[in-house]
Amino acid sequence: MADNHAEFIVLGAGPGGYACAFRAADLGREVVLVDPRASLGGVCLNEGCIPSKALLHAAELIRDAQHSDGWGISTGNVSVDIDKLRARKDGIVAQLTAGLSSLAERRNVRIIRGEAAFTGPKTLDIDGDSWTFEQAVIAVGSAPVQLPGWPADNRIWDSSAALELRKVPKRLAIVGGGIIGLEMATVYAALGARVVVIEFMEQIAPGVDFEAVKVLHKALESQGVTIHTRTKVSSVKATKTALTLSCEGMFSGDVKVDAAIQAVGRRASGGIVNADAAGVTTDEKGVIVVDSHCQTNIEGIFAVGDVTGNPMVAHRATYQGHVAAEVASGHAVAFETTLIPSVAYTNPELAWVGLNQGQAKEQDITHEVVGFPWSASGRNLASGSEEGFTKLVYCPNSHRLLGATLVGQNAGELLSECVLAIEMGATLKDIALTVHAHPTLSETIQLATERALGSITDL
Ligand code: NAD
C-alpha cells in the first residue's frame, strides 16, 4: 500500500529520534516517526531528564527554605504537598511533549503510534501493518538494568517508577551510586526519606575525579544520606512490613527499608526491533554498532542514541540524530567528538568533561592540574555556599585544556565554557585573557587559568 511506504522512517521518538526526524524534515525529506508512547520525547522527556530536574529544583527550594534562618529569613516548618509537586512535574512534561507534537506537525512529520520491528532490510512491521522504507534510523534507546534474584514487589522501583513520585517512603535504599542513584538520593532525602545508597565500587560516581566526588559525598551525608561504598546486596527479602537488603563488603549487615530503587545502569535496547531480520548487527549488550556516520552495517539503516552504547546521555543522542539525518540526506558530516559532557544534577552539582586527573595519570598522558577553590569566590559565598571547586587538566607544553571537573552550585551550567574551550583548542592564556563578568561562578575557570599562568591576584 502506498500509505505504508516511508522515504525516511525513524524508530523511537526520544531526543535522538525526534531530533533526527525534525532535521530530516527540515532537509526536505518525507518523514515518519514511530513510537509506542502516547507522547513524544522518549524516556528523557517523559520519565527521565525533565521530571527529575523538576523534582531536583523542588529539593533545592526545600533545602534553601530549611537553611535560610541564619540569613534572617524564617519560613517556619517547610511542608510538602506531594500531589501538587507531582502535578507540577507532570504539567512541565505535558507542556514540553505538546510542544514537540506541534513542532512535528509544523514539519509535516507523520507520527505513528506503535511498535516497529524489522521484517527485512527494507521492510518493517508496525503493530501488524507491513511497511516498506528507503532509509531507517533506529533510535529506540535503553532500559534500566534489573538486578537478578530480586523478588517481584511494587516497592522496588526503577528510575521511571521513582520519578512517578508515588509516595515518599520513610526509609529508602538506592542500589547504585551513579548519576541516577545520586540524583534520586538528593530528591528523596529532601522530601524527608531516610536514604541509604549502596554502591559496589570504591566511590560513588565511579570514574569521576575523586576530590570532586569527596565534596559531593560529604554534602550528601550532611543532607542525611547514608552511603555504603564497596558494598553489594547479596539477597533481598520482602515481607509485609519491609524490604530487607542483606549487604556484603565494606558494610555488612541488613538494611531494612520501605522501598528500594535499582539504579545500576541501563542496557541498550537493540534487541527490541528485530534488527537481525534486516541484517543489522546487535552485540551481546544490546548495542547496535555504528560508524562515525551513525551508519549500521546495512546501508540505509542508521542508529543513534543510547541504542548505540555509552555514554547514554540525551545530548549525545540529539547530536547523533542530526548527523544521521544529514548523512542520510547526502551531507558530508560525521560524529567525531569524544567530548561528551556529563552532569549529575545533585546538590552540589558535579560536572565533568574530557580527561580527569586520575585518567591522565593512568594513561600516562603528560599533564598538569590546576584548581580554584570556590571558597574564594564571592559569588559562591553570597549565594550561601562555601563548597565547590574548579579543576582543570591541561597540557604543560601546548597549554591546551584536556579536561575539566567542577563541583558546586550550577556546575553543570559552567561546564559548557570548558567544553567549548577544549573543542576550540583554547589555551590557558585564551581563557585568562577573556573578560569574565564579576561576580560570577564562571570566573573560577578564568581564575584557575590565571593561577596556572602565575598571574592570579585573587588568591
Ligand atoms: P551508572 O552507570 O551511571 O551508575 C550505576 C552505578 O551502579 C555505578 O556506580 C555502578 O558501580 C553501580 N552498580 C552496578 N551494579 C551494582 C550492584 N549490583 N550493586 C551496587 N551498585 C552497583 O547508571 P545509572 O545511574 O543507572 O544511569 C544510567 C544511564 O543514564 C547512565 O548512562 C547515565 O549517564 C544516564 N543518565 C544521565 C543523567 C544525566 O546526564 N544527568 C541522568 C540520569 C541518567
- Summarize pLDDT for 237-274 with one digit per residue, the tens: 999 999 999 999 999 999 999 999 999 999 999 999 99
- CA–centroid distance, residue 437 to ligand 1 (Å): 36
Which residue has a Cα nearest atom 4 of ligand 1?
178
Q: How far apart are CA 249 and CA 228, in angstroms?
A: 9
Where residue 191 falls among pLDDT bands split at 50, 70, 90?
A: very high
Ordered DSSP codes for 354-365: E--HHHHHHTT-
Give the span between the Cα atoms of 390 and 217, in whole angstroms.
17
309 close to ligand 1 (CB < 6 Angstrom): no
Q: Using a 6 Å cutoff on CB, does residue 207 contact ligand 1?
A: no
Place of cell 580527569: 356
Is 438 among the catalytic positions?
Answer: yes
Half-sphere exposure of 163 (CA within 13 A, CB side): 25
How far is ligand 1, taken at its centre, from the CA of residue 265, in Å?
4
**DSSP secondary structure of 4-61:** GEEEEEEE--SHHHHHHHHHHHHTT--EEEEESSSSSSHHHHHHSHHHHHHHHHHHHH
Q: 222 near 382, Cβ under 8 Å?
A: no
Distance 52 CA to ligand 1 centre (A): 15
Give the pLDDT score at 338: 77
Burial grade of 274 (CB within 10 A; 0-12, 13-18, 19 or more): middle
pLDDT at 337: 78
Q: What is the pLDDT of residues 82-103, one digit of tens each?
A: 999 999 999 999 999 999 999 9
CB-ligand 1 contact for 138 (6 Å cutoff): no
Tell me how far CA of residue 416 lies from CA of 82, 220, 260, 369, 370, in angstroms: 34, 25, 34, 19, 18
**In CATH, which of 3.40.50.920, 3.30.1330.60, 3.50.50.60, 3.40.50.410 is domain 156-264?**
3.50.50.60
Ligand 1 pocket check for 353: Cβ under 6 Å: no
Pocket test for ligand 1, best of 44, 202, 266 (most atoms within 8 A of CB): 266
Cell numbers given for 7: 522515504
Between 337 and 277, the higher pLDDT residue: 277
CATH superfamily of 5-143+267-328: FAD/NAD(P)-binding domain (3.50.50.60)
Q: Check for a shared fold between 156-264 and 348-453.
A: no
pLDDT at 149: 95
Helix-then-strand count for the chain, H and E: 13, 22
Is the shortest distance between the CB of 51 and ligand 1 below 6 Å?
Answer: no
Question: Cβ neighbours of residue 78 under 8 Å, at least 6 residues apart?
Answer: 62, 65, 66
pLDDT score of 1: 43
Catalytic residue among 57, 322, 367, 438: 438
Asked: is 348-453 a CATH 3.30.390.30 domain? The reply is yes
Q: Taking the domains of the chain in order of start, what are their residue ranges?
A: 5-143+267-328, 156-264, 348-453
